[in-house]
């Protein structure tokens, strides 16, 4: 018997078996660095090696912008009823249940009320962790409710986008959320209520084609990808090579499509300052 091969190695292997290691301890950044999730959350989901801004969960995002990390969630009374009874490789209802179980959320959007820089504000947020932050009837209704709440309180409205676009499983119902959100923004304009749009990585498709690019002030997080169609699709359509930084927050700032690009760690201070200017 080979003592090392037959006894020692199997015991070591059993002690460090992958199945004994929790799968939610680490996150791999696109720079290939492995990040400890606890440290990553404390760093506002920013890679400490390449400074890439990763997706944030709604609770961490809200706590990072509201004064004293205090906010109140607005109840969204709508149930996604799968209007098309859609099925591809899986039923849409099954995909929803999987995402709900994974994220412990009803859908991809949230609305919260709280003070930012001492000014009561209503904040709508899309969470990319739930089906890529895609916009269906639940998200469109959430946005409308957020705008109505802002009108009710006569307070600034802030939309934080992180989305792959319209939710394809809802077809035309999803596309109808685009004009619905635009109509909701018009309610803000009629009451002369400020609307601030924050674009995070990524903001694309139907979301970028509707409410995301209609802010009175448009702020983009550092390095965020922002656009409608994908870069490769555009290149194949126009038969030209696009710039390396095309569809980045910095590229859009250079071409006048956004008002400022802000590092996530400076976002709270920036919102405080912008809201104080708008109050005057």
Domains defined for the chain, CATH in brackets: 22-54 (no CATH), 57-279 (3.90.226.10)
pTM of the model: 0.89
Distances 252 to 168, 217, 245 between C-alpha atoms, Å:
27, 14, 9
Any idea which of 15-19, 74-78, 135-139 has the lowest mean pLDDT? 15-19
Give mean pLDDT, residues 199-214: 96
Distances 212 to 159, 223, 255 between C-alpha atoms, Å:
7, 17, 17
What pLDDT is attached to residue 230?
84
What pLDDT is attached to residue 80?
80
Q: Do 172 and 193 contact (CB within 8 A), yes or no?
A: no
On average, the pLDDT of the chain sits at 92
- Give the list of residues 6+ apart from residue 55 with CB closer than 8 angstroms, or none: 45, 127, 128, 129, 162, 201
208: its two tokens:
């970028």
Inform me whether the pLDDT recorded for 178 exceeds 80. yes
What pLDDT is attached to residue 5?
60
What pLDDT is attached to residue 10?
65
First to last CA, the chain: 84
What pLDDT is attached to residue 81?
81
Say which residue the tokens 């089906």 belong to.
131
Say which residue the tokens 């803000």 belong to.
188
Inform me whether the pLDDT recorded for 171 exceeds 70. yes
| Banded model confidence at residue 231, pLDDT cuts 50, 70, 90 | confident
Q: Percent of the chain at pLDDT above 90?
A: 82
- Predicted confidence (pLDDT) per residue in 237-249, tens digit: 999 999 989 999 9
Inform me whether the pLDDT recorded for 276 exceeds 90. yes
Give mean pLDDT, residues 251-264: 97
If one compares 231 and 124, the residue with the highest pLDDT of the two is: 124
Distances 189 to 89, 140, 195, 270 between C-alpha atoms, Å:
43, 18, 8, 22
Any idea which of 75-79, 136-140, 219-223 has the lowest mean pLDDT? 75-79
What pLDDT is attached to residue 24?
76
Inform me whether the pLDDT recorded for 263 exceeds 90. yes
- Predicted confidence (pLDDT) per residue in 32-47, tens digit: 999 999 999 999 999 9
């Amino acid at each position: 018997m080979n003592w090392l091969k037959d006894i020692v190695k199997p015991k070591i292997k059993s002690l460090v078996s992958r199945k004994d290691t929790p799968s939610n301890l680490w996150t791999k950044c696109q720079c290939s660095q492995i990040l400890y999730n606890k440290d990553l959350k404390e760093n506002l989901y920013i890679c400490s090696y390449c400074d890439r801004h990763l997706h944030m969960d709604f609770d961490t995002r809200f706590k990072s912008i509201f004064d004293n990390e205090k906010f109140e969630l607005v109840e969204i009374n709508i149930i996604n009823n799968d209007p098309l009874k859609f099925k591809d490789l899986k039923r849409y209802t099954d995909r929803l249940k999987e995402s709900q179980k994974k994220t412990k959320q009803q859908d991809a959007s949230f609305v919260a009320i709280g003070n930012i820089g001492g000014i009561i504000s209503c904040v709508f947020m899309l969470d990319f962790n739930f089906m890529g932050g895609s916009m269906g009837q639940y998200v469109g209704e959430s946005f409308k409710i957020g705008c109505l709440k802002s009108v009710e309180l006569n307070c600034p409205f802030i939309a934080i986008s992180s989305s792959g676009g319209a939710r394809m499983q809802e077809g035309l119902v999803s596309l109808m959320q685009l004009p619905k959100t635009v109509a909701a923004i018009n309610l803000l304009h009629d009451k002369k209520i400020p609307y601030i749009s924050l674009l995070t990585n990524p903001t694309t498709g139907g979301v970028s084609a509707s409410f995301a690019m209609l802010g009175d002030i448009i702020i983009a997080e550092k390095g965020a990808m922002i656009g409608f169609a994908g870069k490769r699709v555009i290149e194949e359509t126009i038969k030209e090579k696009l710039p390396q930084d095309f569809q980045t927050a910095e590229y859009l700032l250079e071409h006048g499509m956004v008002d400022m690009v802000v590092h996530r760690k400076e976002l709270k201070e920036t919102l405080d300052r912008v809201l104080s200017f708008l109050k005057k």
